[in-house]
């Protein structure tokens, strides 16, 4: 009989989706990452969610801001490398005091095979925090849902950028078949 930990190992993307519904998220902005593929499929299948695939994560920070201005809640899904792309844009939620929840799947983190992913992966948390983002990590599958819940609550209740970093230990280190 599966215990809670093995359920979480399999189901954490579904648990995130349930949290997005619970928090009435209507706009999901993303640059795809393999670690988020199951969650993205759930969001695409949901008629109450508008999913926007972006050309760069910068657009997502602005789109979430526009959503909030118009009375809707959004979330940004991206890979750790995308964090590097949108750092200056975090001025938007900071200066306007608006929620900006981000769910980040890590690369360059735990058992990474691609040297190029390491510099940004290693700097992701530091750089986000330097821009005033409240960052929490989840390094075990059963920690993902409570951490994402905290990230959403902190964003929408305290009006600031927040992020959950989902460690590569949870996602599984990619090998491209090696």
29 or 171: whose CB is closer to another protein? 29
Helix ranges restricted to H, the chain = 4-22, 37-44, 57-69, 80-85, 91-96, 118-130, 141-158, 168-171
According to the binding rule CB under 8 A, does residue 71 interact with another protein? yes
5 or 69: whose CB is closer to another protein? 69
Give φ, ψ of 19 to 5 degrees: -70, -40
**Minimal distance, residue 170 CB to another protein, in Å:** 29
**Which residues, 108 to 167, sit near another protein by CB under 8 A?**
none
30 or 165: whose CB is closer to another protein? 30
For residues 77 and 28, give the distance between their C-alpha atoms in angstroms, rounded to a whole number. 7
Tell me the two tokens of residue 146: 């409570």
For residues 171 and 62, give the distance between their C-alpha atoms in angstroms, rounded to a whole number. 27
Q: If residue 165 lies in a helix (H) or strand (E), which one and from where to where?
A: strand 161-166
Residues 39-58 vs another protein: string with x where CB under 8 A?
-----------x-xxxxx-x
**Count of residues engaged in binding another protein, rule: CB under 8 A:** 32
CA 171 to chain centre: 13
| 10 burial level (CB within 10 Å; 0-12, 13-18, 19+) | exposed
**Minimal distance, residue 171 CB to another protein, in Å:** 26
DSSP state of 159: T
- Among 97, 126, 157, 175, which residue interacts with another protein (rule: CB under 8 A)? 97
According to the binding rule CB under 8 A, does residue 10 interact with another protein? no
According to the binding rule CB under 8 A, does residue 172 interact with another protein? no
33 or 109: whose CB is closer to another protein? 33
Catalog residues that contact another protein under the rule CB under 8 A.
26-27, 50, 52-56, 58-72, 74, 88-89, 91-92, 95-98
């Amino acid at each position: 009989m599966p215990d809670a930990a093995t359920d979480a190992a399999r189901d954490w993307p579904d648990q995130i989706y349930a949290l997005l519904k619970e928090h009435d998220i209507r706009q999901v902005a993303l640059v795809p990452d393999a670690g988020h593929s199951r969650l993205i499929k759930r969001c695409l299948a949901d008629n109450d969610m508008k999913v926007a695939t972006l050309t760069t994560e910068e657009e997502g920070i602005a789109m979430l801001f526009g959503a909030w201005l118009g009375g809707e809640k959004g979330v940004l899904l991206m890979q750790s490398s995308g964090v590097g792309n949108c750092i200056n844009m975090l001025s938007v939620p900071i200066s306007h005091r608006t929620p900006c929840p981000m769910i980040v799947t890590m690369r360059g983190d735990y058992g990474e095979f691609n040297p190029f992913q390491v510099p940004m992966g290693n700097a992701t948390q530091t750089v986000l925090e330097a821009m005033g983002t409240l960052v929490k990590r989840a390094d075990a599958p059963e920690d993902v849902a409570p951490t994402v819940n905290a990230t959403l609550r902190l964003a929408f209740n305290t009006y600031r950028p927040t992020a959950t970093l989902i460690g590569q230990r949870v996602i599984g280190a990619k090998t491209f078949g090696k």
